[in-house]
Amino acid sequence: MTKPEISFEFFPPQTLEASFRLWDTVQTLAPLEPRFVSVTYGAGGTTRELTRDAVSTLHKSSGLPVAAHLTCVDASRQETLEIADTFAAAGVQDIVALRGDPPKGQDRFVPHPDGFAHSVELIEALANTGKFNIRVGAYPDRHPEAQDFTADIDWLKAKFDAGADEALTQFFFEAETFFRFRDACEKAGIDKPIVPGILPIENWKGARNFARRCGAHIPAWIESAFEKALRDDREDLLATALCTELCSDLIEGGVDKLHFYTLNRPELTRDVCFALGITPRAALQNVA
């Protein structure tokens, strides 16, 4: 089996303890030589400053290419592009451009009066600067706000037409979900890279709630398997096996890149990578 290129997503820490956990996560996964790591925004842009700090620190200290998330939420166009400029000034050349989730307490996205109306406008503005490699989101299962599956394809095509370079998908549970989406994108004339997003399930209850919020289809057999695993105290074993199998199926289907949503908990992601044959590169130093 061909070893895929990998990337990891982190979220910015909000406490001192979380800062140590993020650094431990980076230290655990960096030896696997990801092609980049990304740092998210919180819902409604709540961690905007923390994201900037985390991106800057990781860029300076980890030696890894770092992609900063940037959204349209609760900021004017000028403010958003000024944030992008701070990333560029810090040497960060990769941005994950998203519309963003509504702020807490709101049930739908409402643009800032002077802000970007949606992700396509943000992508176009970033592309016009010529400073960034731009990644965007994609949805193999229908986005909760999309009218139908075709609408998701149309939006993704518009993002690429606006200047995006690569898409990272929302997570999903079955390889066929991604293959169906990939085929539909190719039929629509999309020829830029679409990378599957992988969620190693550290906690089934949390993952299930997350899936329901973002519209990811939960197969009945997954529900049943985790119910039995929880009774037998084998949740971690099942999670590792299912995630490894999903990645293997994707690779056998021609996928050569995987993007892992780590939730700042590196062990399961590391174990899956090991199972796929992705191991730390040993370096021999001071050999007499």
Point out the catalytic residue in the list 5, 9, 145, 245: 9
Of the candidates 283, 277, 284, 282, the residue with the CA atom closest to the CA atom of residue 5? 277
Residue 267 is a catalytic residue = no
* Tokens read off for 10: 């982190």
Three-class SS of 261-284: ECCCCHHHHHHHHHHCCCCCCCCC
284-288's contacts with Cβ under 8 Å and 24+ in sequence apart are none
Please state, in angstroms and rounded to a whole number, the distance separating the CA atoms of residues 10 and 134: 18
Q: Which amino acid is at 258?
A: L
Q: Determine contact, residues 148/174, Cβ cutoff 8 Å.
A: no
Please state, in angstroms and rounded to a whole number, the distance separating the CA atoms of residues 149 and 143: 8
Active centre residues (catalytic): 9
